[in-house]
């Protein structure tokens, strides 16, 4: 059976924007579920599990080349049961088949296309395929499966065994400061000393890596590391990966210079980069980083925040099948704009100045013949060329940017995927609490609380089931990343206000997490709750990638909540988790940055800092602007539920520096408190 022109397939009733994008393909796509698997069994066919997401450029390319091609669709419909999956809504499905494809081919990515037996076990897969190659694969697999299905089942069983081995228990290995030193020494060899980031292309922001390096660099007064982080964050924000007109960061740079990005904008990137720039602003006291924080929050509010308070997942890279069409410029567009000149007395061409400022010149033109705006030009040279003061220059550029934004707003915009993803919103809540604290702006904290309130009121089916998406139904699998990141966000909200209900919520959710996700080894956590029996393996996600793994977030949560509630079992489990990964962390720290953050906490002195008296908030703010790692804070409260917060006195404004349930004599000034810490640092 083939779909008639414009007739929708079975995806038409799905809520996912990505699935809706494929609902009018001539391919007879089905959503993931029992119906598709039963159909494959009844008809004796392989399933094609095709996985992607709404803002994925190469997903759009393969759709246009193959899934919208009537001839290709006929082959797919005749020989396979075709299933489409939104990886953002079902990370559990994506994790299983991504692992299989990586074992088979040595690499992964999206679109992810995996051919599986009717029982769900994979037998072949890959990522993007050109149309001719895709048709060859379809023909060969369908023919071979009809002739010799036994070979496929034997291969599937071997592959399953290989995947199960990845889930085997790791031997624990202790670590210390020298272990971390080894991690960092090896990491330094991968630094790009000119452009920042790693010395390769493409370049991903990887904010968690930068945050670990900044904390380590500060603790050890390592100028090379701190300079590298400052360079990376500066170059990244001046490159085309950063929207120079409206703020917000794109997914990654295809080159080694941060200039030409894949243009999709993801919530998780921008949230974590906010946290990274907050830490950088705190350490370096650079107003430029403050400006990046402000513009990024403004971008999120303007383009990725729902009126009800939560944040959208992504903005597409493509418009009408052309990547970056909304963001790139042709030179004549700028040259022909009638720019206002706020300095009429200065007889200059604003268009020429804008081209110089944003590097719109023949050396920067892309392969598509357009320009991606960046700010790598030497501003002093531009000032001298046009005989402008700093204030005059900034006035002209500010006016020009407003006009360029107005011009750009008339273009057809890329599509925004407006679904809520719990884990990504949690990262944003965490980041906004950081922004509120670092910039002393309570508006940012209100945004964080608003988003958390929406999740509390709409994403909990009951006290246990925290849904992954506002598109999810009750029978969806549950995901560790949501629980872990919401717990971390609750802890961060507490750290800003000392409102203990946040820690109580975090502890309660941690208890549910233990019940739902704890691995049979009693140490790690499974990535999902195991409710979808069609998945033949239950993954244990430990590597930190573009977002920290659920296990590394949980390990840090256990450590902090163990300290707050004086619960040694939590701290012990946290320690066991990181010890199981010591060898992997030492071999490649870049894939385990959030684990390395925990290594810092456990291999260096860690302090509980308790503030008392009227100056508690003032002293806390001052302290946090000067100390950037290895402490938690609390405020004295007579009836506190936290042991460390009720054991002092409130007679005066004191600061207690405590470690391992033992406190030094209190001091009154922040500088004296810091001196006590630095004696051991």
Name all contacts of 89-92 with Cβ < 8 Å and 24+ positions apart: 89/16, 89/18, 89/419, 89/421, 89/468, 89/469, 89/471, 89/472, 90/32, 90/476, 90/477, 91/468, 91/479, 91/481, 91/527, 92/477, 92/479, 92/527, 92/528, 92/532, 92/535, 92/539
Are 111 and 62 in contact by the 8 Å Cβ rule? The answer is yes
C-alpha separations of 420 from 154, 417, 423, 424, 568 in Å: 41, 9, 9, 8, 35
pLDDT for the residue numbered 365? 77
Cα 86 from Cα 428, distance rounded (Å): 21
Residue among 481, 507, 503, 496 nearest 448 (CA): 496
C-alpha separations of 650 from 627, 638, 642, 645 in Å: 24, 8, 15, 10
Which residues of the chain fall short of a pLDDT of 70? 1-6, 367, 474-475, 648, 650, 680-681
Whether the model pTM is above 0.75? yes
Exposure of 218 in the CB half-sphere (CA atoms within 13 A): 22
pLDDT for the residue numbered 474? 61
Cα 523 from Cα 581, distance rounded (Å): 12
Q: How many CB atoms lie within 10 A of CB 342?
A: 13
Sign of CA dihedral 399, 404, 407, 412: negative
Do strands 261-262 and 252-253 pair parallel, antiparallel, or not at all (unpaired)? antiparallel
Token code pair at residue 180: 């971390």
Are 104 and 159 in contact by the 8 Å Cβ rule? The answer is yes
pLDDT for the residue numbered 360? 93
Owner of token pair 């539920």: 641
Cα 117 from Cα 46, distance rounded (Å): 5
> What is 437-471 written as a DSSP string?
HHHT-HHHHHHHHHHHHHHHHHTBSSSS-B-SBTT
Judged by DSSP in three states, 560 sits in: helix
pLDDT for the residue numbered 175? 87
- Give 4's contacts (C-beta < 8 A, 6+ positions apart): none
For 279, phi then psi, to 5°, come to: -65, -40
Percent of the chain as helix, strand, coil, to the nearest 5: 50, 10, 40
Q: What CATH number labels 10-165?
A: 3.40.30.10
Are 581 and 542 in contact by the 8 Å Cβ rule? The answer is yes
- Give 133's contacts (C-beta < 8 A, 6+ positions apart): none
Owner of token pair 């750290």: 495
Report the mean per-residue pLDDT for the chain: 93
Nearest-10 Cα torsion for 99, 103, 106, 109: -20
C-alpha separations of 519 from 90, 118, 527, 575, 578 in Å: 20, 27, 9, 16, 15
Biggest alpha carbon distance in the chain?
Answer: 85
Residue range 153-184, pLDDT digits in tens: 999 999 998 888 877 778 888 888 999 999 99
Are 337 and 351 in contact by the 8 Å Cβ rule? The answer is yes
- Give 281's contacts (C-beta < 8 A, 6+ positions apart): 289, 290, 293, 438, 439
E strands along 326-475, which residues? 416-417
Give kind and range of the element (H or E) at residue 418. none
Are 271 and 216 in contact by the 8 Å Cβ rule? The answer is no
pLDDT for the residue numbered 364? 78
Domain 607-678 indexed as CATH 3.40.30: yes
Residue among 478, 486, 592 nearest 527 (CA): 478
Token code pair at residue 424: 């990504």
**In terms of CATH architecture, what is 177-317+418-603?**
Alpha/alpha barrel (1.50)
Are 596 and 180 in contact by the 8 Å Cβ rule? The answer is yes
pLDDT for the residue numbered 169? 72
Give strand pairing partners of 52.
86
């Amino acid at each position: 059976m083939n779909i008639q022109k414009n007739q929708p397939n079975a995806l038409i009733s799905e809520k996912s924007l990505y699935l809706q994008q494929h609902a009018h393909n001539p391919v007879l796509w089905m959503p993931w579920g029992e119906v598709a698997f039963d159909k494959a069994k009844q008809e004796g066919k392989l399933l094609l599990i095709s996985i992607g997401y709404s803002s994925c450029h190469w997903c759009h390319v393969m759709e246009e080349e193959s899934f919208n091609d009537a001839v290709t669709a006929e082959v797919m419909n005749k020989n396979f049961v075709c299933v489409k999956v939104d990886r953002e809504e079902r990370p559990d499905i994506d994790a299983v088949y991504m692992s299989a494809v990586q074992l088979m081919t040595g690499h992964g990515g999206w679109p992810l296309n995996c051919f599986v037996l009717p029982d769900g076990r994979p037998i072949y897969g890959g990522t993007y395929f050109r149309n001719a190659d895709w048709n060859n694969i379809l023909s060969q697999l369908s023919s071979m499966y009809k002739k010799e299905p036994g070979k496929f089942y034997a291969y599937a069983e071997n592959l399953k065994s290989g995947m199960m081995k990845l889930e085997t228990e790791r031997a624990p290995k202790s670590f210390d400061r020298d272990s971390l030193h080894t991690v960092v020494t090896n990491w330094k060899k991968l630094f790009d000393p000119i452009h920042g980031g790693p010395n390769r292309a493409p370049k991903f922001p990887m904010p968690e890596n930068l945050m670990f390096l900044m904390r380590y660099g500060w603790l050890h007064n390592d100028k090379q590391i701190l300079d590298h982080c400052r360079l990376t964050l500066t170059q990244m924000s001046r490159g085309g990966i950063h929207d120079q007109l409206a703020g917000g960061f794109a997914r990654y740079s295809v080159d080694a210079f941060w200039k030409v990005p894949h243009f999709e904008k993801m919530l998780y990137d921008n949230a974590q980069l906010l946290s990274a720039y907050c830490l950088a602003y705190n350490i370096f006291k650079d107003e430029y980083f403050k400006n990046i924080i402000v513009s990024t929050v403004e971008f999120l509010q303007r383009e990725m925040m729902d009126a009800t308070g939560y944040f959208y997942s992504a903005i597409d890279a493509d418009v009408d099948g052309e990547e970056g069409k909304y963001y790139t410029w042709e030179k004549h567009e700028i040259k022909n704009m009638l720019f206002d000149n706020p300095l009429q007395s200065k007889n200059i061409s604003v268009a020429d100045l804008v081209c110089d400022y944003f590097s719109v010149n023949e050396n920067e033109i892309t392969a598509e013949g357009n320009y991606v705006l960046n700010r790598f030009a030497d501003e002093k040279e531009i000032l001298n060329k046009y005989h402008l003061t700093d204030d005059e220059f900034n006035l002209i550029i500010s006016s020009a940017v407003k006009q360029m934004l107005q011009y750009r707003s008339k273009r057809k915009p890329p599509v925004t995927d407006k679904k809520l993803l719990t884990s990504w919103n949690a990262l944003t809540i965490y980041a906004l609490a950081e922004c509120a604290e670092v910039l002393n702006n309570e508006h940012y904290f209100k945004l964080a609380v608003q988003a958390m309130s929406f999740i509390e009121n709409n994403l909990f089916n009951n006290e246990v089931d925290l849904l992954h998406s506002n598109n999810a139904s009750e029978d969806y699998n549950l995901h560790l990343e949501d629980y872990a990141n919401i717990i971390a966000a609750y802890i961060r909200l507490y750290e800003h206000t000392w409102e203990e209900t946040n820690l109580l919520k975090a502890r309660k959710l941690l208890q549910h997490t233990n019940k739902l996700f704890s691995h049979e080894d009693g140490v790690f956590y499974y990535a999902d709750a195991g409710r979808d029996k069609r998945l033949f393996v239950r993954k244990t996600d430990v590597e930190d990638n573009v977002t920290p793994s659920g296990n590394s977030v949980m390990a840090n949560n256990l450590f902090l909540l163990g300290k707050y509630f004086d619960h040694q079992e939590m701290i012990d489990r946290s320690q066991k988790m990181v010890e199981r990964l010591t060898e992997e962390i030492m071999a490649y720290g870049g894939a385990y940055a959030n684990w390395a953050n925990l290594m810092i906490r456990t291999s260096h002195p860690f302090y509980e800092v308790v503030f008392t008296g009227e100056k508690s908030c003032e002293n806390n703010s001052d302290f946090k602007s000067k100390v950037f790692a290895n402490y938690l804070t609390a405020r004295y409260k007579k009836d506190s539920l936290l042991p460390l917060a009720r054991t002092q006195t409130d007679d005066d404004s004191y600061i207690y520096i405590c470690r391992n349930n033992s406190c030094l004599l209190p001091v009154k000034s922040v500088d004296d408190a810091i001196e006590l810490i630095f004696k051991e640092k």
